[in-house]
Structure formats: C-alpha cells, structure tokens
C-alpha cells in the first residue's frame, strides 16, 4: 500500500495528512496512537458504505467507538444539527480524552470540527473525508462551522484536526455530480498558485473524470500540498489564506440565494471562478486566453458556467455578508495570470456588474 504524507506545519499543533488507497483499513493503527475512545459522526449515505469497515479497523486496534448519524446535505449544516451532536455526546458521557471522527464530506467535517471546538470547550478530532471536495479542501486547515440563512459559514471556529486520513478509494462510491463539484476546488489550486498544475489538469482531465487512481492521487496530493503551505503561512486568514477563497465570494452568494443544497458548493464555486475571472480581466490584467482557459476547464468538468439570474442589488447584498468583507469593503480574489492571485478591496461596483453581465 502506497501512502503519501504531508504535514500542516503549525508548531505544536502540526498534524499529518496521510493520502493513499485503502487507508480506511489502517485507521485503527493511526487513530489508536491518539486515543482509545472515539465518536464517529457521519450521515446515512456514507455510513452504509464505510462506517462498519471503520469501526472494524478501530476495534482491531483496541479502540472503542460509538457513532452519531446526522441527516445528509448542506441544508442540515445548522445549529439544530450541531445541537443534536452535542446532545448525543452528553448522552454518551464523552469526556475530553475522547476523539471525534468526521467520516463524510465537507458538511460532516465542518459540523464535527465545530462540535469538537465547542464541546467541553474543545476536544480533539480526526478528519476522514470521503468526497473529493473534502479531501482536497475542507478537511485541511481547521475551518469549522455552520450556515446561517443570511450567510454561509459565518458562524464557526478555527479548530485544527489532529490527523487527516484521506482514502482515495472512497471516491469510487461518489456520484458523478459530487465528483465534478470537488474538481472545482482542484482547479482553484492551479488557478491561484500553480500554473504547471493547471496545465496538467487540462491534459489529464479525461483520466481524472474517469477516476484513474494515479491521476486522482496526484490531483489530491498536489491540492493538499498547496493548501497545507498556505494554511501554515496564514492559519487564521489574515492575509495569504484569503486567496483560497477564489470564486467563493460569488459562489457563497449563489448558495445562499438559491437555498443551501440546491447548488452543490463546488458547482457554485465553479461558476464563481468564471465570474471572478471575468472580473480579473477588468481589474487585474488577466489575459483573455487565460480567462477562456479557466472557463473552458470549468465547463469540461461539467460544472455550470452561468450564474443564476439575480438582481445586481441582491448580489451586492449577499456578498456584503461574507467573511472577506473588511472595514465595510468586499475583498475580491482576482487572478493576475493563471497561477498568480491577489486580494483586491478597491473593486468598483461597475466592474462587478460588468463581470456578472459577461458571465451571464
């Protein structure tokens, strides 16, 4: 079994990312070093495939496990679900020596991490992401939280995991739409930081979409490598880490306006990147060929290019309730070229309006 390991370098809170095929069977050995009791949080869709194998692996290493199953979907990334998790932890008499384990996609990871950050003022947790989007993005970096009807991910905490275990074989059961949504975040990494990786994605896209194991392993590893570097440099998003939000300001507005779960997060981010590229043409000198390459790759993956028809005032209202807003100004992530991104707080409403018209 080939395992690749990266480290998120955060001093005393550093943690490893283990990436490989079939790693779920190794979870007991990896997690037992952290603790002898765990509570697994998952949803019914993921649990039917992976809960029993995970619990068997844990049991073989002498780790006691319980499970909390919460409803599936972005609509359930809420205070109500978080409260239910807390209630179950209290019923199970969980103490600070117990590890929480997030088994699922981004919603499960964010909920479990926030539960870990807030239960008894903080317990440790482990990420075992089972979707492409979670493997390459949400499981790494310690962002946790829930949604609010007025804004996505506006309530939460930075709480780093103790371990991230990425078993790429779990992607075999991922629906096509979910896999495509995860590819939006993969594309993002090439767009903001690594032009050579973006070039590779263009040439290997067919293999990736066919879930060729070698291609997928490289895409996951490179995405995690880039994110780990950025998080290590700026854990709490006071500077460079904001670049990871390329496409997200527009994307979160789409998700909030449409109702959480109507657009998958990656679908909204894909469209958001197309809009952000159009904005970049106007404000940061992104070339037309680079803009077209990004929009073309989003389309080839099968993600929507065109945003929903929202009044411009509604766009601005939604984007003003965003973590990137600073001192009343919306900070947009723009591309200067493929592989080079910047944060801009001086973008005019006219430029935003033109970018939205160009993408429509």
Tens digits of per-residue pLDDT, 93-141? 999 999 999 999 999 999 999 999 999 999 999 999 999 999 999 999 9
241 an active-site residue? Answer: yes
H-state helical runs in 75-146: 79-91, 106-118, 132-133
The pLDDT score that the predictor gives to residue 325 is 73
Give the per-residue pLDDT at 323.
Answer: 67
Tell me: the pLDDT tens digits for 219-268? 999 999 999 999 999 999 989 999 999 999 999 999 999 999 999 999 99
Per the annotation, the verdict on 193 as an active-site residue is no
Q: Which of 234, 338, 248 minimizes the C-alpha distance to 295? A: 338
Q: Which of 88, 124, 143, 159 does the annotation list as catalytic?
A: 143
252 is catalytic: yes
Set 74, 235, 237, 255: catalytic member: 237
* pLDDT on residue 33: 95
CATH 1.20.1090.10 holds for 176-359: yes
The CATH class of the 3-173 domain is: alpha beta
For the entire predicted model, the pTM comes to 0.95
pLDDT confidence tier of residue 329, bands split at 50, 70 and 90: confident
Domain spans, the chain: 3-173, 176-359
* Residue 178 appears among annotated catalytic residues: no
Closest among 103, 42, 43 to 72, alpha carbons compared: 43
Mean pLDDT of 59-76: 97
Annotated catalytic residue 49 = no
**C-beta separation of 188 from 247 below 8 A:** yes
Residue 185 known to be catalytic: yes
Query: What is the pLDDT confidence band of residue 322, given thresholds at 50, 70 and 90?
Result: confident
218 is catalytic: no
Active-site residue 159, yes or no? Answer: no
Residue from 225, 265, 281, 324 carrying the catalytic annotation: 265
φ, ψ at 166 (rounded to 5°): -110, 105
Q: Which of 77, 245, 267, 281 is catalytic?
A: 245
Is 1 a residue whose pLDDT tops 70? no
Stated length of the chain = 360
Annotation marks residue 204 as catalytic: no
Tell me, yes or no, if 13 is annotated catalytic: no
Buried b (16+ CB within 10 A) or exposed e, 276-285: bbbbbbbbbe
């Amino acid at each position: 079994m080939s395992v690749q390991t990266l480290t998120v370098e955060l001093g005393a809170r550093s943690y490893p990312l283990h990436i490989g095929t079939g790693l779920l069977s190794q979870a007991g050995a990896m997690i037992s070093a952290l603790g002898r009791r765990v509570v697994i949080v998952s949803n019914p869709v993921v649990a039917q495939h992976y809960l029993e194998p995970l619990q068997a692996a844990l049991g073989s290493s002498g780790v006691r496990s319980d499970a909390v199953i919460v409803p599936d979907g972005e609509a359930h990334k809420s205070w109500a679900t978080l409260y239910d998790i807390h209630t179950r932890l209290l019923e199970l008499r969980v103490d600070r020596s117990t590890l929480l384990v997030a088994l699922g996609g981004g919603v499960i990871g964010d909920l479990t991490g926030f539960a870990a950050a807030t239960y008894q003022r903080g317990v440790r947790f482990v990420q075992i992401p089972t979707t492409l989007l979670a493997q390459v993005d949400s499981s790494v970096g310690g962002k946790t939280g829930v949604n609010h009807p007025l804004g996505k991910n506006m309530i939460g905490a930075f709480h780093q995991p103790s371990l991230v275990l990425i078993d790429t074989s779990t992607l075999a059961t991922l629906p096509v739409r979910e896999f495509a949504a995860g590819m939006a975040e993969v594309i993002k990494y090439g767009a903001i930081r690594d032009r050579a990786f973006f070039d590779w994605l263009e040439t290997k896209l067919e293999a990736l979409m066919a879930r060729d194991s070698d291609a997928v392993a490289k895409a996951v590893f490179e995405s995690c490598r880039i994110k780990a570097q950025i998080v290590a440099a700026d854990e709490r998003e006071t500077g460079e880490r904001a670049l990871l939000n390329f496409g997200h300001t527009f994307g979160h507005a789409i998700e909030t306006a449409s109702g959480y779960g109507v657009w998958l997060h990656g679908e909204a981010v894909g469209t958001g990147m197309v809009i952000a590229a159009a904005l970049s043409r106007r404000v940061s000198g992104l070339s037309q060929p680079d803009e077209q390459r990004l929009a073309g790759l989003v389309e080839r993956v099968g993600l929507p290019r065109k945003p929903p028809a929202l009044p411009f005032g509604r766009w601005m209202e939604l984007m003003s309730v965003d973590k990137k807003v600073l001192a009343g100004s919306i900070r947009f992530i723009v591309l200067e070229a493929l592989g080079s991104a910047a944060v801009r707080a001086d973008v005019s409403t006219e430029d935003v309006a033109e970018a939205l018209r160009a993408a429509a």
